[in-house]
Amino acid sequence: MGVELHIQRKDGAPISSEQWLAYVADDPELTIDPEWGPHFAIWAGPSKYETPWLDLSHGRLSTKWPDTALFRKMLDIAQLFDAEVRDDDGTLYLNPNDWSFDPDARRPR
């Protein structure tokens, strides 16, 4: 079991695959890795993970156990899609300090 965070639109409208792929094409830090799926993107930012990722499924972007840096990237992406970051329980994360996780410590704050 793990924590999964999602970027989903505030109005419930799905993020389309076309919109996601266009965003990835314009963001030099993101690259689609087709080995994992047509919408699976690897982030080249300052993550503690070797391969931090985001994947589009069911109209929302998701990842598991994002470290603090990837979480903050998710907040930036959410703004551009008029979306918000939530976990599986519906908890809303609005600010950069709302989530902090160091995979080396294995404990979220």
What predicted TM-score, i.e. pTM, was given to this entire model? Answer: 0.93
- Does the pLDDT at position 109 exceed 60? no
Mean pLDDT over the full length of the chain: 95
Residue numbers of the domain that contains 14: 4-108
What's phi and psi for 76, nearest 5 deg? Answer: -65, -45
Looking at residue 2, its pLDDT comes to 76
Out of 2-6, 45-49, 105-109, the most confident range is 45-49
Using the Cα atoms of residue 81, residue 31, residue 47 and residue 56 in order, give the sign of their dihedral. Answer: positive
Looking at residue 106, its pLDDT comes to 67
Q: Which two tokens stand for residue 97?
A: 């300090």
Q: Work out the average pLDDT over 3-17.
A: 97
Looking at residue 39, its pLDDT comes to 98
Distances (CA, A) of 33 to 37, 38, 45, 66, 101: 7, 7, 15, 18, 24
Confidence at 104, pLDDT banded by 50, 70, 90: confident
- Name the domain count of the chain: 1
Per-residue pLDDT of 35-90, as tens digits, reads 999 999 999 999 999 999 999 999 999 999 999 999 999 999 999 999 999 999 99
